[in-house]
Copies of this chain bind each other. A is one copy, B any other.
């Protein structure tokens, strides 16, 4: 008995999706390396055999996923997503998805102490210097300049994360930074002694990192974050409220 031939289901995706996929495939497979120039729109039209409208819609799709970007001369250049951009996209999506302060803080409280522990194990001396620079900046800042204090507090987290030399971790920590960064502003200028307390925590953490004292780094980071969290409670921010 002869089996009737089975056809594969036809690919009925819109053309602009196919354009997006085709380009993306070549990027992913390495045919198009980072920084490579894509053909012009007109060129893509003839290569794919579709009209410019479709090509352009496909490009928008690629553009939003950060794989491609307009460079000099407006030409499209291939770009491999940087951790900060991944973090931005993720935190933006979380905000839109309705994540709350409580969720962010709980995650922060879980991740950063462990990050500090890892840092105590392997932070380079340059990374440590960067942390010291942040701490010194904070020390010299006027104790009532809330915005500056916030900047230094976030920057401390940022530098610590960067020093871990792990892009996956970095992206996650950065996205947490972004999610609280904006709101920290509202809190800190209502917290008494914020300047002093944060400065102290940073100093203790740095000291622990210097001595490769993992437990102490972990403990102080925990304390530091708990301190920040208390700020939200004092400022009467509802932890179930959506992040901005």
Contact = CB atoms under 8 A, between A and B. Distances in A.
B172 A172 contact: yes
Contacts of A92: 65
A89 B96 contact: no
A148 interface: no
Interface string A96-123: 1111000110110011001100100000
B27 A96 contact: yes
Interface string A60-104: 110111110000000000001111011001101110111100011
Contacts of A61: 60, 63-64
A116 B151 CA distance: 33
A168 interface: yes
Contact of A168 (B60, B63, B89, B103): B103
Q: Main SS of the interface on chain A? A: helix
A66 B97 CA distance: 10
A40 to B, nearest CB: 17
Interface residues of A, number: 46
A230 interface: no
Contact of A97 (B81, B94, B98, B179): B81
A89 B60 contact: no
Most interface-central of A94, A97, A104 (chain B CB within 10 A): A97
A167 interface: yes
Interface of A: 16, 27-28, 53, 56-58, 60-61, 63-67, 80-83, 85-86, 89-90, 92-94, 96-99, 103-104, 106-107, 110-111, 114-115, 118, 166-169, 171-172, 176, 179
27 contacts: A16-B60, A27-B96, A53-B53, A56-B57, A58-B60, A60-B61, A60-B64, A61-B63, A63-B64, A65-B92, A81-B97, A86-B93, A86-B97, A90-B90, A94-B167, A94-B168, A94-B171, A97-B167, A98-B167, A99-B168, A103-B166, A103-B167, A107-B168, A110-B111, A110-B115, A110-B118, A111-B111
